[in-house]
Structure formats: structure tokens, C-alpha cells
Structure 1
Amino acid sequence: MKAAVVYQAGGPQVLTIEERSKPQLKEGWSLIKVLGFGLNHSEIFTRQGLSPSVSFPRILGIECVGEIVESTAPQFQVGQRIISIMGEMGRDFDGSYAEYTLLPNNQIYPIESRLPLEQLVALPETYYTAYGAFKNLQIQAGDVTLVRGAASGVGIAMLRLIKARFPQNHVYGSSRSLSKEPELLEKGFDGVILDQQNRLQTDKMFDKILELVGPASVKNSFDHIKEHGIVCSNGQLGGKWYLEEFDPIMELKNNSYLTSFYSGNVSQKKIQDLLDYVSDYHVDTRPEKIFSLEQIAEAHSYLESSSGLGKVIVLN
């Protein structure tokens, strides 16, 4: 099989395409033919050597859509279409940047969906994360929402999830550069706010804020949340991992709420709930860019560049 292997930390060029033997089936695991996978910023961090638990060489990839080839689990059938995300895939063991991958049975989720493959492949990590945040933000008709980190895959996914069900809701996006404003407005955002040095350049207040920049800017988000509003922090695009010097009494003084969503909190039912929501509300899940496995270095370069926008996927 072909696989993209990282032997040492570095830039996109360290992703090396090579021929490898297919993984051998072992008890408690299944062999999956990888149909496609989405790219995630956490994989960029790992490639750069910023995931201390990961040792090289490693095949990256924390998600995939695929088909069962062989399995030790009697409930799985050969040819069955599945989704898998997280579970230390691409970190503790080789992940989805390959034509085949070996996965633990307990993180394989058979699915039912009529979505075209490219739209299905865009779902697992990005839309699953956005949908979890959507529910924890308790989005309702009439909410004015800010997506902080609007140009990211999760940011655009949140916009689409909201607008599909509540088309009259106003959804604003923030960006560190207004050069992306025309594209973000074209995607459907009702306005774009400059995020300068982790401070929003506006006096506007919001009912709900999806905080994807993370600990670097979450305290500033609470300066822009209305009374009884909710901030959901489930991204770390700002490059800061931990929230420091946070006084809950003062930061939440507007009777506001802080929540999050961890995409490792996954189950068959939660995956199917997302698929049903996408189907019921006709959510547009088309990716922004599609690459081949041989173009994986180019795909990484695009995702981490200033021109990167939305969900990027690879189809095998």
C-alpha cells in the first residue's frame, strides 16, 4: 500500500510517500480500506513535533471514512462503510494517511448515509466537533453568534450547521486578517470582525460565541458575551494550550457560561445523530479543497498557509 510517513519533525516536506506492507490483522482490531480523510490542525502540530506523546516514524491521521476489509469483530461485515475518529489514531499507532489502516474495533462506527463520498469524508472530525459545540451552545432561533476563527474548517462547519436550520440567525466571523472578508461573506457570514492580537476590534455583543482560537483569547470573548450567553471553547488555533489567570467570578460576571466539546467523546449514536442532522436540514458539507494522498505535503502547506480556508480532504 501507499502511505505518507513522517520520520522526523518538520515542515510539510517531511511527509514521505512510500510503499509499505498492509498492516496484519490482530485480535481486537480490523483492517480498513481508507476511502478518504480530512486534514486537521492537530496533525500539523504533531508533524511539527509539538505532540510530546508521539514518536516517529509515524503515519499521521486522526480520522477516516473507509470500508471493512478484515475484522476480528463478528458484528462487522466485509465491505461495510465506517467512520473512525480520535482514539489516539495517528498518535499512539499509525493512522489514516495511507491506503489501508488497522484500527481498534471499539473506535469503528458503521454508518448509514447517502451523502456523496467527498461530503461524507468532510464530516468525521470537523463537523462532529462543530455539531457537538452547536449542541453545547444551545443554538436557538434568533441567536446572534460569533465564530472566532471563522476561516477554519470547524468555523465554516458551524456556520453551515446554524444557517441550515436557522437561516434568519445572524452569524458573524472573526479573522486575524480582513483579506479573507470577501470569501467569508460569500460563505454566508453576516459580518467579519478583525481579531487583532487576540482582541476583537468591535463593541458588538453576542448571545453565543464559538471560541476556536482558544485559551489565547477566551477571556476577551467574555467581554463580548451578553448576559446568560454561552462561550464554547474547543479550539487552540492561537497556539496556547492552557487557560491561565482565569478568575471565574470576574470573567463570568455577566452571568455567562463556559463550555467545551471534546471530539474524543464519541459513540455510534452521536455519529449517527450528526449524519441525521446533515440529512434532515440539507447541510452543505462540501470541502473547500480535495487532494490525493500523493499531494499530502501540498495539502498540509495549503492548510497552514494564510490562504487556507475551510475543510481540506484527501481522497484515495
Structure 2
Amino acid sequence: MKAIVVRHPGGPEVLEYTEVPRPTVKPGWSLVEVKGRGVNHSEIFTRDGESPSVKFPRILGIEAVGVIADTTNAERLPVGQKVVTFMGEMGRAYDGGYAEYALIPNEQLFPVTTDLSWSDLAAVPETYYTAYGALEGLQLHDGDTMLVRGGTSGVGVAAAKLAHAMASVTVTGSTRSLAKRDQLLAAGFDQVVLDQDGQLPTGQRYDKILELIGAATVPESLQHLNPAGIVSATGELGGQWGLQDFEPVEKIPSNTYLTAFHSGNIDEHRIQALFKLIDDHDIDVSPVKVFGLKDMQAAHEYLASHRSFGKVVVLS
């Protein structure tokens, strides 16, 4: 099979399009013919060598969509069943979705029934699941004002679309470049605000803030909450993994709340609820860019560039 192999950390040039043996099933694992996969910033971090637990060579990819090609659980995962898979150390502890076939633990495979195209379906698992889970934690109510910090990211765009389906809310997206304002508005945001050097140059306050830049800007985001407001720290786009010198009583304004959502805690009922929401509201989940597997280097270059916007998908 064809696959993208990373033999050592480095830039996009280490993403080697090559031929490797197709995996064979083993007890508790099934083989997926991968039709598509989303590309994620965490995979760029891993490719760069910023994931110390990952050993090389490795086939990256923390998510994939496709059909069961060979199974060890014919009842739940029959051959031909459409599935999504993401997280669970996929592409990190074992080879992931950057290949034509992937061997995945059965408990990490989730059957889905959907008429979405492969490119649209590939945009959903990690990105829309993360957005949906974080929005649940924000406890959206009609009339809420919400800020998505890091609005141009895939999760940011997904959050704007899902939020409008979940409640009657006003959604503002932050961006480091107001040149992307029209893209944000077209993607479903109601308003746009500039995010400059980790600071929001506005006195505006919000009921709910989805924090996708992460620890680098969490303390500042907390200062933009209305009373009883909530910040959900979900992303790490800022490249900082933890809060530094964060004393809660000092940093969290009185009667406001800080929560988080980790997409690694996968709940199959939440997956089904997400797909139902997408179907019921006819949400446009189409990716902004679609590449072929042999063009994975270009996909990584685009996602890491200042030009990137929304979700990037690579089809087999």
C-alpha cells in the first residue's frame, strides 16, 4: 500500500510518500481501507519532533474515515461498514491515517450511517467532535454572546456552524489578520475581532469563550467574560502546553468559570448526536482545501502557513 512515512523529525520534506506492507489483522484490531483523513496541527507538532513519546519511523494521522476491509468483530464491524476513527494514540503509539490502509483497535472504530461525501466526512471526526464537545461544556443558551479565539482554524469554523445549530447565539471569531474577515463571515461568524500578539484590543465581553489558542491566551480571555461566563480551553494553537504561574484566585475573575474539553475522551453517543445535529440542520461541513495522499507535504505547508483557513482534508 501507499503511505506517508516519517523516518525522523523535521519539516514537511520528511513526509515520505512510499510503499509499505499492508497491515494484517490481529486479535482485537480491524483493517480500515482509508478513504480520507483530516490534517491537524498536532500532527505538525509531532512531525517537528515536539511529541517526545512518539518513536520514529511512524505513519502519522490521528484520524481517518473509510470502510472495514478485514475484521475481527464481524457483528459490530462487518466488512464494508463505513467507519470513523480518531485519537486513542492513533498515529502516535501505532501507525495512523496517513496511509491507504490502517490497522486500528476495534474500540477506536465507530460505525456511522451518513450520505456525506468522503471529503466532507473526513472533515468531521476530530474537528467537529472537538468543537461539539467543547460547546456542550460552554452550556450555550439563546441570547448568548460567544467568542471563538482562533476562529480561522478548522475547529473554530466548525464551532461557529455548530453553535448556530445548537442555540440562538451571536458568534464572534478572532483572527490575527483582518484580511480573513470576509472568509470568517462567510463561514458563519456574525462578527470578527482582531487578535494582536495574544491580546484582544477591545473592551468587549462575552458570555462564552471557546479558547483554541490555548494556554498562551487563557488568562487574557478570562478577562473578557461577563459575570457567570465560561471559558473552555480546548486548543493549543499558540504552541504553549501549560499555564505558567497561574494562580486561580488571582487569574480567574470572581463568578466566572474555566473548563476544558479533551477529544481523546470519545463517547460513541456524542458521535451519534453530532452526526444527527449535522444531518438535522444540514450543516455544511465541507473542507476548505482537499489534497491527494501523495501531496501530503503541500497539505502540511498550507496548514502551517498564514494563508490557512478552516479544515484541510487529504483523500486517498
Structure 1 letter corresponding to 2:280: D
Quote the Cα distance in structure 2 between the aligned partners of 1:79 and 1:267. Answer: 23
Unaligned runs of 5+ in 2: none
Q: Alpha-carbon deviation of 1:55?
A: 1.1
- Structure 2 equivalent of residue 78 of structure 1: 79
Quote the Cα distance in structure 2 between the aligned partners of 1:83 and 1:186. Answer: 28
- Structure 1 equivalent of residue 298 of structure 2: 298
| RMSD of aligned Cα (Å) | 1.1
SS in 2 for 1:115: coil
- Structure 2 equivalent of residue 238 of structure 1: 238
Contact 1:3 1:20 in 2 (8 A): yes
Deviations 1:192-246 (A, max 9, x none): 2121221111000000000001000000001100000010001011110001222
Aligned length: 315
Quote the Cα distance in structure 1 between the aligned partners of 2:124 and 2:190. Answer: 24
Quote the Cα distance in structure 1 between the aligned partners of 2:136 and 2:145. Answer: 15
**Residue 107, structure 1, aligned to residue 108, structure 2:** yes
Deviations 1:93-152 (A, max 9, x none): 100100001001111111112222222111000000000011010111111100000100
Contact 1:226 1:254 in 2 (8 A): no
SS in 2 for 1:200: coil
Quote the Cα distance in structure 2 between the aligned partners of 1:40 and 1:14. Answer: 16
SS in 2 for 1:196: coil
Quote the Cα distance in structure 2 between the aligned partners of 1:121 and 1:190. Answer: 26
What's the TM-score, normalizing by structure 1?
0.97
15-24 vs 181-190, greater mean Cα deviation: 181-190
Quote the Cα distance in structure 2 between the aligned partners of 1:187 and 1:308. Answer: 14
- Structure 2 equivalent of residue 284 of structure 1: 284
SS in 1 for 2:96: coil
Quote the Cα distance in structure 2 between the aligned partners of 1:246 and 1:195. Answer: 22
- Structure 2 equivalent of residue 97 of structure 1: 98
**Residue 64, structure 1, aligned to residue 64, structure 2:** yes
- Structure 2 equivalent of residue 220 of structure 1: 220
Quote the Cα distance in structure 2 between the aligned partners of 1:4 and 1:45. Answer: 16
232-241 vs 178-187, greater mean Cα deviation: 178-187
Correspondence list, 1:1-316, <5 A: 1-75=1-75, 76-166=77-167, 168-316=168-316
Structure 2 letter corresponding to 1:140: H
SS in 2 for 1:199: coil
Quote the Cα distance in structure 2 between the aligned partners of 1:291 and 1:95. Answer: 17
Quote the Cα distance in structure 2 between the aligned partners of 1:289 and 1:243. Answer: 33
Q: Alpha-carbon deviation of 1:165?
A: 4.0
What's the TM-score, normalizing by structure 2?
0.97
SS in 1 for 2:195: strand
